[in-house]
Amino acid sequence: MSVDANKAVMRRYFDEIWNQRRLELLDELVAPEYVSYANPGLEPGPAGLRPVFDSVLATFPDIHFSVDDMLAAGDRVVTRWSMEGTQQGEFMGRAGSGRRVRYGGISIDRVVDGKIVEHWRVSDDLGMLQQLGIIPAAG
């Protein structure tokens, strides 16, 4: 597939699965052998991702992702993204705080034959924890 087609898969992942909550598309966009190196220990494929989505959506039911930049070469797509959401459900043993968070990250995904097969991510988890009041902000 072309780099443009691979980028389109990743745009659908963020727009349709995350933002529109169309979890039924996991089977269409995620390969059965999918591995997330950002979440070690997950079951491979869409079945491993479903609990992640359920957990995140329970915590941040209004979560919204924006794709800030996207680059592709070969079968790799690099996405710089930002996320906003309000903590309404339990997170790390703490009840919903009603706090709004905004943080970002960069994901690298390998796309083969129109499906995501591997995923890496680096995100500002410390910033998110500080915004939620779980870890005090410096200074």
Range(s) of the domain holding residue 13: 3-131
The domain tally of the chain equals 1
Q: What is the pLDDT of residue 43?
A: 94
Residue 137 covered by a domain: no
pTM equals: 0.93
Phi-psi region of 75 (alpha: psi -120 to 50; beta: other; left: phi over 0): alpha
Residue 38 to residue 32: CA distance in whole angstroms: 17
Residue 139 covered by a domain: no
As a whole number, mean pLDDT of residues 112-127 equals 97
Q: What is the pLDDT of residue 110?
A: 98
Q: What is the pLDDT of residue 139?
A: 73
3-class state of residue 87 by DSSP? coil
- Spatial strand order of the sheet with 76-86 comes to 30-36, 115-123, 100-112, 76-86, 64-73
pLDDT per residue over 34-57, tens digit each? 999 998 899 999 999 999 999 999
CATH number at residue 87: 3.10.450.50
Instruction: Give the mean pLDDT of the chain.
Output: 95
